[in-house]
């Protein structure tokens, strides 16, 4: 099948690369057996890139069986052997960086400069980090804590991990889930979003080419209702890792409970952006635009609620609106493009609905519409700034997941920090001040898994990412993530060979 227009092989030859199917099980591509198909669509044009057969429960069963069969050998490998394999994997990813960047831009609508400079380098860096971490899976030192008994703690892999990744960062989310799991000795079955399977499949192929054994990494591309729920509930899956909305996360937890498996949930966000009256206004305005429009606002950590102390409020609104109006929408593959489309027309219409309803109770300062002309074919929406909404309004409390920033004023520091905490979410936040004491207070009092000071959005492999409250629990990246994919065993042995007899006598008497 050849699709005319911009979704052609010069952007990324998806149909050629995945001619054998969009499932990756036991080291090879294969077709799904659900009997239904799904199309990957270029959100910049609305044109089909690839049509593939969806996975069904039988495919999930095959993938889990492959992962289970691979587990003893991979878990039994030395930390050094797993580390060497992951170093080779990082090198293969680096060699194929342009392929990954183009595939990610094509399926997501991300500007190519973003995937080249952020998504792909970040993924390679993650692989390098966990290659090193594989050699540092530590328990605790041995000691005699009870008489003549020596105790120590072992960290061991859990088994087969079933993971579900979202469509907003398909490559990075696949890496965040796969790399720590396999570095710790687990094997994995990952279900990417149906809209964006391409880079997850490339990732698994790269792992095989780097020498990671067949069955260690498996990809099943199906719907959440069919393939996803079957994976989460599978009795041979020991742990589930899910990234997505809070509502779906609750369903995942419900299904996982039936088999009492470990859960790792990275859910929704509604990040506050708190600007105190001593902040650098120009820096804060630029930070707000970058932080709110990253990935077209389809980011759980994106700045969505700017609280600005009243002396700076109107100037902040004016400057931020002007910067938003200078942002260039366009073809993700064009060098001058700053902002691409949303993931789909459905998502664009959802975002537009939030903004249209807000007109009844707030001020839409700029944006609030889809562009006309050639861009109307894609799922584009102009950067939007909303001012003067009430704290309890829909646009302040609900996750919009689009290029929309809401700005509200506050008077006292106490009020600003209270408003920042006044949503169910707690994934990320930022505070802007030149006063170290104000900034330090914000880091203590804002209830979020990450608090930036005078910046918003950077992440690094060495530090954890994860939420508070309804934003879930568990950490991605860092050594904390590595430990998420292990289980702890207490080992205790008798140094005297008579303690057991003494214990028996203490409990049961002389016999």
Q: Which residues are catalytic?
A: 266
Residue 368 CA from chain centroid, whole number: 27
What pairs with residue 404 in β-bridges? 384
Rounded Cα distance, 484 and 180, in Å: 8
Of 290, 283, 310, 311, nearest in space to 403 by CA: 290
Of 185, 189, 222, 186, nearest in space to 204 by CA: 189
CA end-to-end distance (rounded Å), the chain: 82
Rounded Cα distance, 267 and 269, in Å: 7
- Output helix, strand, coil percentages for the chain, rounded to the nearest 5: 40, 20, 35
What are 270's two structure tokens?
């509604």
Task: Calculate the dihedral angle through the C-alpha atoms of 368, 372, 377, 380, rounding to the nearest 10 degrees.
Answer: -30
Rounded Cα distance, 225 and 272, in Å: 32
Strands annotated E in 279-369: 303-309, 363-366
Of 137, 144, 168, 344, nearest in space to 245 by CA: 168
What are 464's two structure tokens?
């954890």
DSSP annotation of 225 reads: I
Of 246, 498, 190, 213, nearest in space to 397 by CA: 246
Of 303, 429, 328, nearest in space to 383 by CA: 328
Rounded Cα distance, 408 and 386, in Å: 9
Rounded Cα distance, 263 and 251, in Å: 12
Q: In what order do the strands lie in the sheet with 486-494?
A: 140-146, 149-157, 486-494
What are 430's two structure tokens?
């930022």
Q: Which residues contact 308 (CB under 8 A, 6 or more apart)?
A: 275, 284, 316, 317, 407, 408, 409, 410
Rounded Cα distance, 57 and 79, in Å: 33
What pairs with residue 386 in β-bridges? 364, 406
What are 403's two structure tokens?
């290029």
CB 85 within 8 A of CB 93: no
Region of 368 please: left (phi>0), alpha (psi -120 to 50) or beta.
Answer: left
């Amino acid at each position: 099948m050849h699709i005319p227009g911009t979704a052609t092989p010069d952007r990324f030859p998806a149909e050629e690369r995945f001619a054998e199917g969009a499932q990756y099980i036991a080291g090879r591509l294969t077709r799904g057996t659900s009997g239904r198909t799904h199309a990957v669509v270029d959100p910049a044009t609305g044109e089909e890139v690839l049509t593939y057969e969806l996975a069904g429960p039988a495919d999930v069963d095959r993938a889990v069986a492959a992962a289970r069969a691979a587990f003893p050998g991979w878990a039994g490998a030395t930390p050094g052997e797993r580390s060497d394999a992951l170093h080779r994997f990082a090198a293969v990813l680096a060699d194929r960086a342009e392929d990954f960047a183009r595939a990610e831009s094509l399926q997501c609508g991300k500007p190519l400069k973003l995937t080249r400079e952020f998504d792909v380098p970040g993924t390679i860096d993650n692989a390098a980090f966990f290659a090193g971490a594989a050699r540092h899976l530590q328990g605790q030192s041995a000691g005699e804590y009870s008489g003549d008994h020596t105790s120590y703690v072992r960290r061991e892999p859990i088994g087969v991990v079933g993971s579900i990744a979202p469509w907003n960062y398909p490559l990075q989310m696949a890496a965040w889930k796969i790399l720590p799991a396999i570095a710790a000795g687990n094997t994995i079955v990952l279900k990417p979003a149906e809209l964006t399977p391409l880079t997850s499949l490339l990732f698994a192929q790269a792992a095989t080419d780097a020498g990671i054994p067949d069955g260690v990494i498996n990809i099943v591309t199906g719907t959440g209702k069919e393939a996803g729920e079957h994976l989460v509930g599978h009795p041979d899956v020991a742990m589930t890792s899910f990234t997505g909305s809070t509502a779906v996360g609750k369903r995942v937890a419900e299904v996982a409970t039936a088999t009492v498996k470990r859960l790792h949930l990275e859910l929704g966000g509604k990040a506050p952006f708190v600007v105190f009256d001593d902040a650098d206004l120009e820096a804060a305005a630029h930070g707000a635009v970058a932080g709110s429009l990253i990935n077209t606002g389809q980011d759980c950590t994106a700045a969505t609620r700017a609280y600005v102390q009243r002396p700076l409020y109107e100037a902040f609104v004016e400057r931020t609106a002007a910067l938003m109006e200078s942002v260039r929408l366009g073809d993700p593959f064009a060098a001058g493009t700053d902002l691409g489309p949303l993931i789909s027309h459905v998502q664009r219409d959802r975002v537009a609905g939030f903004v249209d309803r807000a007109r009844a109770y707030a001020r839409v300062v700029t944006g609030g519409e889809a562009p006309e002309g050639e861009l109307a074919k894609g799922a584009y929406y102009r950067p939007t700034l909303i001012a003067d909404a009430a704290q309890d309004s829909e646009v302040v409390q609900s996750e919009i997941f689009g290029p929309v920033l809401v700005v509200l004023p506050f008077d006292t520091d106490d009020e600003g920090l209270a408003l920042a905490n006044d949503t169910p979410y707690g994934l990320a936040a930022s505070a802007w001040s030149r006063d170290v004491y104000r900034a330090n207070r914000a880091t203590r009092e804002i209830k979020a898994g990450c608090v930036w000071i005078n910046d918003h959005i950077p992440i690094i492999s060495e530090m954890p990412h994860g939420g508070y409250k309804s934003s879930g629990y568990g950490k991605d990246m860092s050594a904390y993530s590595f430990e998420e994919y292990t289980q702890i065993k207490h080992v205790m042995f008798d140094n005297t060979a008579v303690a057991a007899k003494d214990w028996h006598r203490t409990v049961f008497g002389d016999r």
